[in-house]
């Protein structure tokens, strides 16, 4: 069978399952869960994988699910297709879970549906007969880096080390036997076309900031207190003042939130907690910006005579997409949605833990349309079910064929030219080296 025939058969198999794939995506959308807590979604993934003849292994980095399928045409590299399981809390989202607030406000539900759809198409069409090497279908937890206090508590009790899904899976060795990987994220930006590949994405560091003051009677004895909230306000104002020192080309993003602002209104706040990311295009830019951010937060403590504790947590590495894989996706996009709807997307200022994988192996992280509204907004909505779920599945499956057909020539070609900047050990050492706790007495 030629590659073209194989692709045609896989696409036909996906079309046959289209309503099932859409149904999976919509079911997951209606049952959003937060990172490392995606138990229902993981169960649905496991059950679906089993129903199509895969043998999934669950509970990886708490909720990850991985199923391997060996090609029957010979040895070769291992190519992983990924889908992210988690949602995130977006205030006012109409489909937010009433208990947790979780919502699928950037379309991870479509990633999982597409991952399962790609597996269905490849298995139904018996594509493995013509593929060499191995495919891994991997539903991964916790891409959204939030819910930080809970995750830090998990880390303190030994259940996690890194607070994002892919870094944790890397640490645990679940990517040790994977040579290259791909996932497709949804986009609601019209300028991204129906599908496109970004040149790069920002990386980030994550910080928790705790101001400690002294409680006192807010009416009777405010002079005896040290107001941690005012210290935090000055810290936030100082962060805003340093923004003009960031170079445009470093695409720094600092966006703190207050997670605890005081105990009750008639008490001078003795404890205020904040969280922030420090994002940037390069590791050097992030490290430079975070020094300024730390200094700004200390200014608040100094002004009020409060104490500030700054904990720096490893975040996500900047992401670079593999150029060879990007060319394959572009060709597939031309076939699936028309060349006029493909976009080469420049640098994006969000962050993803696909960046961490990109440090150690060639990866591809295209975007697919079909959504409207604002990513991470209450109005984010999937409106083109065919594009978001079904075409998405076809694009993943097409890359599996591209990489592993013809004796895995495609994957071998990628691996020959790709130069990931770090070994897995170097990556883990680097991330661990970022973790820091600092206390400043103002």
Give the integer Cα–Cα distance in Å for 152 and 166: 16
Axis crossing angle, helix 108-124 with helix 18-30, rounded to the nearest 10: 150
> Which residue, 146 or 314, is less far from Zn ion as judged by CB?
146
Task: Supply 223's token pair.
Answer: 């002079």
What is the number of the residue whose Cβ is closest to Zn ion?
106
Largest CA distance in the chain: 85
Report in angstroms how near the CB of residue 296 gets to Zn ion at its nearest.
Answer: 26
Q: Which stretch binds Zn ion (CB under 5 A): 101-109, 225-233, 362-370, 428-436?
A: 101-109
Tell me the three state secondary structure of residue 132: coil
- Other Cβ atoms less than 10 A from the Cβ of 436: the count is 14
Report in angstroms how near the CB of residue 370 gets to Zn ion at its nearest.
Answer: 14
Give the integer Cα–Cα distance in Å for 17 and 169: 30
Q: Which stretch binds Zn ion (CB under 5 A): 105-113, 205-213, 216-224, 430-438?
A: 105-113
**Positions 343 through 362 that interact with Zn ion (CB under 5 A):** none
- Residue 428 binds Zn ion (CB under 5 A): no
Report in angstroms how near the CB of residue 141 gets to Zn ion at its nearest.
Answer: 13
DSSP code at position 214: B
Q: How far is CA 96 from the centre of its chain?
A: 19
Total binding residues toward Zn ion, as defined by CB under 5 A? 1
Beta carbons of 117 and 132 less than 8 angstroms apart? no
> Which residue, 106 or 308, is less far from Zn ion as judged by CB?
106
**Nearest of 389, 384, 382, 397 to residue 329 by alpha carbon:** 397
> Which residue, 91 or 265, is less far from Zn ion as judged by CB?
91
> Which residue, 88 or 411, is less far from Zn ion as judged by CB?
88
> Which residue, 106 or 232, is less far from Zn ion as judged by CB?
106
Give the integer Cα–Cα distance in Å for 151 and 153: 5
> Could you tell me which residues come within 8 angstroms of residue 214 by beta carbon, excluding any fewer than 6 positions away?
224, 225, 226, 268, 270
> Which residue, 175 or 367, is less far from Zn ion as judged by CB?
367
> Which residue, 45 or 226, is less far from Zn ion as judged by CB?
45
**Positions 219 through 238 that interact with Zn ion (CB under 5 A):** none
Q: Which stretch binds Zn ion (CB under 5 A): 9-17, 100-108, 172-180, 194-202?
A: 100-108
Give the integer Cα–Cα distance in Å for 361 and 423: 9
Report in angstroms how near the CB of residue 88 gets to Zn ion at its nearest.
Answer: 6
Report in angstroms how near the CB of residue 204 gets to Zn ion at its nearest.
Answer: 13
> Which residue, 61 or 310, is less far from Zn ion as judged by CB?
61
Give the integer Cα–Cα distance in Å for 151 and 136: 27
Report in angstroms how near the CB of residue 111 gets to Zn ion at its nearest.
Answer: 8
DSSP code at position 434: H
Report in angstroms how near the CB of residue 437 gets to Zn ion at its nearest.
Answer: 27
**Positions 258 through 297 that interact with Zn ion (CB under 5 A):** none
113 phi, psi to nearest 5 deg: -60, -40
**Positions 123 through 152 that interact with Zn ion (CB under 5 A):** none
**Positions 8 through 47 that interact with Zn ion (CB under 5 A):** none
> Which residue, 112 or 404, is less far from Zn ion as judged by CB?
112
Which residues face 136 on adjacent strands? 68, 80
Report in angstroms how near the CB of residue 108 gets to Zn ion at its nearest.
Answer: 6
Beta carbons of 394 and 110 less than 8 angstroms apart? no
Report in angstroms how near the CB of residue 116 gets to Zn ion at its nearest.
Answer: 18
> Which residue, 65 or 102, is less far from Zn ion as judged by CB?
102
- Burial of 4: CB neighbours in 10 Å, binned 0-12, 13-18, 19+: exposed
> Which residue, 24 or 301, is less far from Zn ion as judged by CB?
24
> Which residue, 130 or 142, is less far from Zn ion as judged by CB?
142
Q: Which stretch binds Zn ion (CB under 5 A): 44-52, 104-112, 235-243, 262-270?
A: 104-112
| Helix, strand, coil in percent for the chain, rounding step 5 | 45, 25, 30
- Residue 106 binds Zn ion (CB under 5 A): yes
> Could you tell me which residues come within 8 angstroms of residue 144 by beta carbon, excluding any fewer than 6 positions away?
34, 35, 86, 87, 88, 106
- Burial of 80: CB neighbours in 10 Å, binned 0-12, 13-18, 19+: buried
Report in angstroms how near the CB of residue 367 gets to Zn ion at its nearest.
Answer: 10
Burial 315-326, CB ≥16 within 10 A → b, else e: bbbbbbbbebbb
Report in angstroms how near the CB of residue 365 gets to Zn ion at its nearest.
Answer: 10
Q: Which stretch binds Zn ion (CB under 5 A): 99-107, 209-217, 223-231, 382-390?
A: 99-107
Report in angstroms how near the CB of residue 289 gets to Zn ion at its nearest.
Answer: 21
What string marks each residue from 51 to 90 as x (binds Zn ion by CB under 5 A) or -?
----------------------------------------
| Interface with Zn ion (CB under 5 A) | 106
């Amino acid at each position: 069978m030629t590659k073209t025939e194989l692709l045609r058969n896989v696409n036909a198999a996906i079309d046959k399952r289209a309503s099932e794939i859409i149904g999976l995506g919509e079911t997951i959308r209606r049952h959003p869960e937060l990172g490392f807590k995606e138990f229902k979604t993981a169960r649905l993934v496991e059950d679906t994988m089993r129903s199509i003849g895969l043998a999934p292994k669950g509970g990886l980095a708490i909720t990850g699910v991985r199923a391997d399928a060996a090609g029957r045409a010979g040895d070769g590299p291992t190519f992983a297709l990924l889908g992210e399981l988690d949602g995130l809390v977006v205030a006012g989202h109409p489909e937010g879970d009433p208990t947790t607030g979780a919502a699928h406000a950037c379309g991870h539900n479509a990633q999982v549906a597409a991952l399962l759809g790609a597996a269905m198409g490849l298995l139904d069409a018996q594509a493995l007969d013509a593929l060499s090497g191995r495919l891994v279908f991997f539903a991964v937890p916790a891409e959204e880096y939030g819910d930080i206090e809970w995750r830090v508590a998990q880390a303190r009790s030994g259940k996690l080390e890194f607070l994002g899904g892919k870094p944790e899976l890397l640490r645990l060795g679940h990517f040790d036997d994977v040579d290259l990987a791909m996932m497709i994220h949804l986009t609601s930006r019209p300028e991204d076309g129906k599908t496109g590949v970004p040149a790069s994405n920002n990386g980030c560091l994550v910080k928790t900031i705790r101001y400690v003051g002294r409680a006192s009677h807010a009416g009777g004895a405010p002079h005896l207190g040290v107001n941690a909230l005012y210290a935090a306000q000055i810290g936030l104002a100082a962060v805003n003042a340093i923004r003009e020192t960031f170079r445009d080309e470093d695409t720094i993003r600092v966006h703190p939130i207050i997670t605890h602002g005081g105990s009750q209104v008639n008490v001078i706040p003795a404890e205020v907690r904040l969280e922030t990311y420090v994002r940037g295009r390069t590791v050097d830019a992030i490290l430079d910006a975070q020094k300024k951010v730390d200094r700004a937060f200390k200014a608040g403590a100094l002004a009020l005579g409060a104490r500030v504790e700054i904990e720096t947590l490893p975040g996500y590495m900047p992401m670079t997409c593999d150029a060879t894989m990007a060319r394959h996706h572009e060709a597939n996009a031309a076939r699936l949605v028309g060349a006029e709807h493909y976009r080469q997307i420049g640098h994006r200022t969000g962050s993803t833990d696909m960046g961490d994988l990109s440090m150690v192996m060639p990866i591809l992280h295209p975007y697919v349309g079909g959504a409207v509204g604002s990513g991470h907004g209450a109005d984010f909505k999937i409106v083109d079910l065919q594009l978001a779920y079904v075409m998405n599945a076809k694009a993943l499956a097409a890359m599996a064929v591209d990489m592993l057909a013809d004796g895995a020539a495609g994957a071998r070609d990628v691996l020959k030219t790709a130069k990931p900047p770090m070994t897995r050990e170097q990556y883990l050492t680097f991330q661990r080296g970022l973790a820091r706790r600092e206390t400043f007495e103002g």
